């Protein structure tokens, strides 16, 4: 029965590309309009068919992780690209539409992100071993969207260019106090303190990142300029000349967006500048992927620009500049995935094959939502005063300088 139902669902859903499905009984059928991309998926477990009908996104991800679903010709990326394009075209099955809408309505419950749950959620993802992340990231451990100012840039150069771009938007002067909300492994804090002579307070909820960032600060001899704290941003009470937050807003959750920007406004001095770098949606608000929420980023949420504007407006902060980096994160994620795949022997020494398939699915899904759906990266420059930053963007455009900085 479930094979018949799944067949009917696929005939209505797969309207673009070419997807060949081999069912557990050996029957094979082809769906789509006979165009590219093309992929062949084999279902090995009869029980998976019912799950694909009831919750296709979750079942597809879990089936791939567990090996009860395999992808042959075309590969995982082609299969997922077909599904994502079909979903974007409006052919999403009714049951999936209902589940997506329910996820959207349940955001206040699913994304509460209290101080306690926020620590637990961060640990789930960021307290994996440093050795694992080093296999995938650049040497500075930048786990956020790079800035490919030129198409020939390496990942290392693009991550260096990202830090240069952020530093310029912060309009730094020596001696300023900078708050880095979600400082990760400390790379940006080290760069700002070393290259711009500022005092940096970094906040993280990851014990692993706190330990590594603190060690890096000590090794760099910058303990007099950088203070890395294991602290929630809601617990900080001081004020700062500059605030930077890179890749942190995605972990706040929709119910906490107002709290987050209220704290940014309270912690920023009257003449200060804040730079918020975050994944965002170039479209209306929606629910979070249930698969990503369960396996990768519990409590996470990618806000739309529409959802950001209202809480910022309530604080009275000015949008001094808004930039959309668009495809830069797709390029970054492709570089990470290439390194992940090239180091599979070392990854396999740390984790099992199910983990490997989970991360491959995660990285591929993220690449495709930037290439095919409405996700982008926003850089929001904020200030209490409308003249807190230069009145034109000329100060961001110094030809050649970024190339030299990135190559060093």
| Residues marked as catalytic | 366
Quote the CA–CA distance of 234 and 259 in Å, as a whole number: 8
| 251-76-63 Cα angle (round to 5) | 75
Q: What are phi and psi of 161, to 5 degrees?
A: -65, -35
Name the phi and psi angles at 191, rounded to 5. -65, -45
Closest by alpha carbon to 282, among 308, 254, 311?
308
For β-strands 375-383 and 318-324, DSSP reports them as antiparallel
Question: Is the separation of the CB atoms in 113 and 260 below 8 Å?
Answer: no
Of 222, 238, 240, 241, nearest to 171 (Cα)?
241
Q: Which residue has the tokens 């491959």?
A: 360
Which residues lie below 8 Å from residue 397, measured CB to CB, with a gap of 6+? none
Which run of H or of E encompasses 90? none
Which of 155, 150, 149, 161 is CA-nearest to residue 188?
161
Query: Is 53 in contact with 68 (CB distance < 8 Å)?
Result: no
Element (H, E) at 405: helix 401-407
Strand partners of residue 91: none
Sign of the C-alpha dihedral computed for residues 324, 255, 366 and 30 taken in this order: negative
Q: Is the dihedral of CA 33, 39, 45, 50 positive or negative?
A: negative
Cα gap 41→69, rounded to integer Å: 7
Residue for token pair 């260019």: 161
Q: Is 245 helix (H, G, I), strand (E, B) or coil?
A: strand
Q: Do β-strands 268-281 and 375-383 pair in parallel, antiparallel, or remain unpaired?
A: antiparallel
For the chain, the distance separating the N- and C-terminal CA atoms, rounded to the nearest angstrom, is 62
């Amino acid at each position: 029965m479930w094979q018949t139902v799944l067949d009917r669902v696929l005939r209505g859903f797969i309207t673009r590309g070419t997807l060949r499905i081999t069912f557990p009984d050996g029957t094979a059928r082809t769906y789509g309009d006979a165009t590219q991309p093309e992929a062949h998926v084999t279902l090995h477990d009869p029980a998976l068919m019912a799950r694909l009908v009831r919750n296709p996104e979750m079942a597809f991800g879990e089936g791939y992780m567990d090996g009860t679903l395999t992808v042959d010709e075309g590969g995982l990326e082609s299969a997922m690209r077909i599904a994502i394009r079909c979903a974007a075209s409006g052919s999403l099955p009714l049951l999936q539409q209902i589940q997506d809408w329910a996820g959207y309505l349940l955001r206040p419950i699913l994304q509460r992100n209290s101080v306690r749950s926020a620590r637990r959620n961060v640990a789930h993802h960021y307290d994996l071993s440093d050795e694992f992340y080093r296999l995938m990231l650049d040497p500075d451990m930048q786990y956020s969207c790079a800035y490919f100012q030129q198409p020939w840039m390496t990942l290392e150069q693009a991550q260096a260019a990202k830090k240069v771009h952020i530093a310029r938007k912060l309009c730094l002067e020596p001696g300023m106090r900078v708050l880095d909300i979600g400082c990760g492994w400390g790379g940006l804090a080290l760069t700002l303190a070393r290259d711009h002579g500022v005092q940096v307070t970094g906040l993280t909820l990851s014990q692993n990142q706190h330990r590594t960032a603190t060690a890096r600060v000590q090794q760099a001899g910058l303990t007099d300029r950088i203070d890395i704290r294991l602290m929630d941003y809601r617990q900080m009470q001081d004020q700062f000349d500059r605030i930077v937050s890179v890749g942190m807003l995605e972990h706040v959750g929709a119910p906490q967006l107002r709290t987050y920007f209220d704290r940014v406004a309270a912690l920023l001095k009257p003449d200060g500048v804040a730079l918020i770098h975050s994944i965002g949606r170039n479209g209306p608000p929606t629910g979070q992927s249930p698969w990503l929420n369960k396996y990768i980023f519990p409590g996470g949420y990618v806000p739309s620009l529409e959802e950001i504007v209202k809480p910022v407006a309530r604080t009275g902060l000015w949008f001094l500049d808004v930039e959309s980096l668009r495809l830069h994160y797709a390029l970054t994620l492709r570089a990470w995935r290439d390194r992940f795949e090239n180091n599979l022997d070392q990854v396999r020494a740390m984790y099992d094959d199910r983990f490997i398939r989970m991360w491959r699915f995660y990285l591929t899904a993220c690449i495709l939502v930037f290439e095919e759906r409405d996700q982008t990266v926003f850089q929001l420059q904020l200030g209490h005063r409308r003249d807190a930053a230069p009145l034109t963007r000329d100060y961001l455009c110094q030809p050649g300088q970024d190339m030299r900085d990135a190559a060093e």
